[in-house]
């Protein structure tokens, strides 16, 4: 049942900012690749919430600090929240989530991003408790990482080869392009690559099953050549 309270909340905290998820196919590819690989990485961990392009409201509207950025919400390209269960959400209302902020956020830049916008996002993430902030420009292949030191998000002196303290993933810039690796060393794959890999595994399993069936059939033929019933072979002592 939809109540007046729910309607008021939807108006005060809309689930969309009216902006598209991405400005181009390359930006979209990276957003989806990071989000889906993190979902796979933490699939067995119930209390890790991962989302892409979901509006995050850190405090109720009436409590927004005068010193904070003007926007009362922001939609990280990808965000990871440790300590909150997976599940559906229209938006991330932090005060309803045990007041736990996203600890890790990713932003994939496009030509429409201005320096002012990037600075506002940094101030927002710094103000409201983000611990790790990664910014990638797929056009220039520039990767920047910032990590919390006290009340500040401080740029990493070297992000190439950096391992995220929270996620355990590794960042490497190879031949100019960003490579992200799971803790087991496996590279982040696009959904298309993941699907192809899955198909390869299925095909390999089918081939293994076929070889096993052929082996069993050859063994049965051998038993029959000895004048025995392969379905009624006495067990050894």
* Least reliable range by pLDDT among 95-109, 196-210, 212-226: 196-210
Instruction: Give the pLDDT of residue 33.
Output: 95
Instruction: Give the pLDDT of residue 24.
Output: 82
Q: Are residues 58 and 139 in the same domain?
A: yes
Q: Which two tokens stand for residue 111?
A: 């030509």
Q: How far apart are CA 44 and CA 213, in angstroms?
A: 33
CATH number at residue 67: 3.90.1570.20
Collapsed DSSP state (helix, strand, coil) of residue 21: coil
- Name which residue leads in pLDDT, 89 or 191: 89
* Least reliable range by pLDDT among 105-114, 115-124, 163-172, 194-203: 194-203
Q: Are residues 175 and 202 in the same domain?
A: no
Instruction: Give the pLDDT of residue 112.
Output: 80
pLDDT at 78 exceeding the cut of 50: yes
Instruction: Give the pLDDT of residue 207.
Output: 61
Q: Are residues 117 and 219 in the same domain?
A: no
- The pLDDT-based confidence of 71 (bands split at 50, 70, 90) is very low
pLDDT at 1 exceeding the cut of 60: no
Q: Are residues 62 and 50 in the same domain?
A: yes
pLDDT at 175 exceeding the cut of 90: no
Partner residues linked to 105 by β-bridges: 79, 133
Q: Are residues 181 and 198 in the same domain?
A: no
Residue range(s) defining the domain that contains residue 211: 190-237
Last residue within a domain, chosen from 150, 166, 188 = 188
Last residue within a domain, chosen from 188, 214, 229 = 188
Instruction: Give the pLDDT of residue 224.
Output: 78
Quick one: CA dihedral 73, 77, 83, 84, positive or negative? positive
Reported as a single tens digit per residue, the pLDDT across 116-138 is: 999 999 999 999 999 999 999 99
Give the helix/strand (H/E) hosting 117.
Answer: helix 115-127
Q: Are residues 55 and 147 in the same domain?
A: yes
Q: Are residues 171 and 236 in the same domain?
A: no
Give me the mean pLDDT over the 168-174 stretch: 93
Q: Are residues 23 and 132 in the same domain?
A: yes
Q: Are residues 99 and 200 in the same domain?
A: no
Counted domains in the chain: 2
Collapsed DSSP state (helix, strand, coil) of residue 188: coil
Q: Are residues 104 and 116 in the same domain?
A: yes
Q: Are residues 149 and 137 in the same domain?
A: yes
Give me the mean pLDDT over the 68-93 stretch: 88
**Other beta carbons less than 10 A from residue 6's beta carbon:** 10
Instruction: Give the pLDDT of residue 178.
Output: 92
Q: Are residues 111 and 99 in the same domain?
A: yes
pLDDT at 66 exceeding the cut of 60: no
């Amino acid at each position: 049942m939809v109540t007046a309270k729910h309607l008021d909340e939807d108006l005060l905290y809309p689930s969309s900012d009216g902006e598209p998820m991405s400005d181009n196919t390359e930006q979209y590819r990276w957003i989806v690749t990071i989000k889906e690989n993190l979902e796979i990485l933490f699939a067995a961990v119930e209390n890790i919430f991962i989302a892409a392009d979901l509006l995050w409201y850190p405090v109720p509207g009436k409590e927004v600090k005068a010193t904070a950025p003007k926007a009362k919400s922001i939609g990280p390209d990808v965000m990871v929240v440790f300590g909150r269960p997976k599940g559906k959400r229209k938006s991330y209302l932090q005060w309803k989530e045990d007041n736990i902020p996203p600890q890790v956020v990713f932003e994939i830049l496009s030509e429409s991003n201005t320096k002012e916008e990037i600075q506002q996002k940094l101030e927002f993430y710094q103000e409201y408790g983000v611990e790790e902030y990664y910014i990638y420009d797929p056009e220039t292949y520039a990767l920047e990482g910032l990590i919390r030191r006290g009340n500040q998000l401080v740029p990493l002196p070297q992000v190439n080869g950096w391992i995220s303290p929270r996620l355990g993933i590794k960042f490497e810039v190879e031949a100019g392009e960003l490579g992200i690796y799971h803790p087991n060393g496996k590279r982040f794959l696009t959904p298309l690559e993941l699907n192809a890999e899955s198909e390869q595994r299925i095909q390999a399993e089918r081939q293994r099953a076929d070889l096993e069936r052929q082996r069993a059939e050859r063994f049965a033929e051998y038993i029959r050549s000895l004048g025995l019933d392969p379905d009624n072979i006495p067990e050894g002592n």
